[in-house]
Amino acid sequence: DAGITQSPRYKITETGRQVTLMCHQTWSHSYMFWYRQDLGHGLRLIYYSAAADITDKGEVPDGYVVSRSKTENFPLTLESATRSQTSVYFCASSEGQNNQPQHFGDGTRLSIL
Amino acid sequence: QKEVEQNSGPLSVPEGAIASLNCTYSDRGSQSFFWYRQYSGKSPELIMSIYSNGDKEDGRFTAQLNKASQYVSLLIRDSQPSDSATYLCAVNGNTGNQFYFGTGTSLTVIP
């Protein structure tokens, strides 16, 4: 039972570069989410998706792009990375009902130099 | 005002004691409440969910919900050093499946 996997686990890149973080889940959950976690801010929602081809902004979407062509994949792209995007990124998924918990991947630690 | 507020701690308790973690939320329409545990360098792990007023027990963990006071808490009985972690409170929003997370309470259980 692989659950939800993120790749890469660690990434170092430079400002201005494009970088894509991958998220794959095997539960067939309809909802998927991207969060960033920074000291003092906790988990902040970047984007979420209710189903394939349906995405919506969260609390901190600027500088990020998502897509969801298949139910199981939800990649997050930083089109032109900035130092302020250095963070730990978590992908999560949940079943469709509003009261279902979210389950998290192991995270990607991203450093932008 | 933040959607979900937690005391950041750190909270220290001796081994075997009861640890009490508290959370308040601002959206009266919230219906689902969750506690996650996060070890340092790891991802959040669901430990409890609660949907109705009152207490819900699962092993050494008890979640308590009071919607009138907009308050949810987590009690950990017989605390163990392995319980040392940051505990995140999560509350669902009114729209879609969005959750709002508190910034977490750091718990240290002293052997």
Assess contact for B98 and B111: CB atoms under 8 A.
no
- How big is the A-B interface in CB pairs under 8 Å? 56
Provide the pLDDT for residue A54: 92
Residue B5 DSSP class: E
A5 touches chain B (CB under 8 A): no
| CA–CA dist A38, A35 (Å, integer) | 10
Judge whether residue B1 has pLDDT over 70: no
- Closest CA in chain B for residue A4: B43
| CA–CA dist B43, B101 (Å, integer) | 14
Provide the pLDDT for residue B29: 86
A31 touches chain B (CB under 8 A): yes
Provide the pLDDT for residue A29: 92
Q: How far is CA A78 from the centre of its chain?
A: 11
Judge whether residue A69 has pLDDT over 70: yes
* Amino acid identity for residue A40 in this structure: G
| CA–CA dist A85, A55 (Å, integer) | 21
| CA–CA dist B103, B94 (Å, integer) | 20
Q: Confidence band (pLDDT; 50, 70, 90) for A100?
A: confident
DSSP one-letter string for A20-83: EEEEEESS--SEEEEEEEETTTEEEEEEEEEETTEEEE-S--TTEEE--SSTTB--EEESS--G
Assess contact for A91 and A4: CB atoms under 8 A.
yes
Q: Which residues of A touch B97 (CB under 8 A)?
A: 31, 33, 48, 50, 94, 96, 98, 100, 102
- Give the residues across from B38 on adjacent strands: B86
Provide the pLDDT for residue A9: 97
Judge whether residue B96 has pLDDT over 60: no
Provide the pLDDT for residue B54: 95
Closest C-alpha to B25, from B90, B88, B84, B78: B90
- Does the beta-carbon distance from A42 to B103 stay under 8 Å? yes
Q: Which of A42, A94, A101 is opposite residue B102, by nearest beta carbon?
A: A42
Q: Which residues of A touch B31 (CB under 8 A)?
A: 98-99
User: Which B residues in the span 18-57 are in contact with A, Cβ-Cβ below 8 Å?
Assistant: 31-32, 34, 42-46, 49, 51
Model confidence pLDDT, tens digit, residues B80-91: 999 999 999 999
| CA–CA dist A48, A111 (Å, integer) | 23
Q: Determine the 3-state secondary structure of A84 from DSSP.
A: helix
Distance from CA of B1 to the nearest CA of A (A): 14
Judge whether residue A1 has pLDDT over 80: no
| CA–CA dist B35, B101 (Å, integer) | 10
Provide the pLDDT for residue B9: 80
| CA–CA dist B35, B58 (Å, integer) | 12
Judge whether residue B97 has pLDDT over 90: no
Q: Mean per-residue pLDDT for B44-66?
A: 96
Provide the pLDDT for residue B14: 97
Provide the pLDDT for residue A40: 79
Provide the pLDDT for residue B18: 97
**Which among A75-79, A98-102, B4-8, B26-30 has the top mean pLDDT?**
A75-79
Q: Determine the 3-state secondary structure of A110 from DSSP.
A: strand
Q: Which of B42, B49, B101 is opposite residue A42, by nearest beta carbon?
A: B101
Q: Which residues of A touch B92 (CB under 8 A)?
A: 98-99
Least confident span in A27-41, B10-24, B36-50, B65-79? A27-41
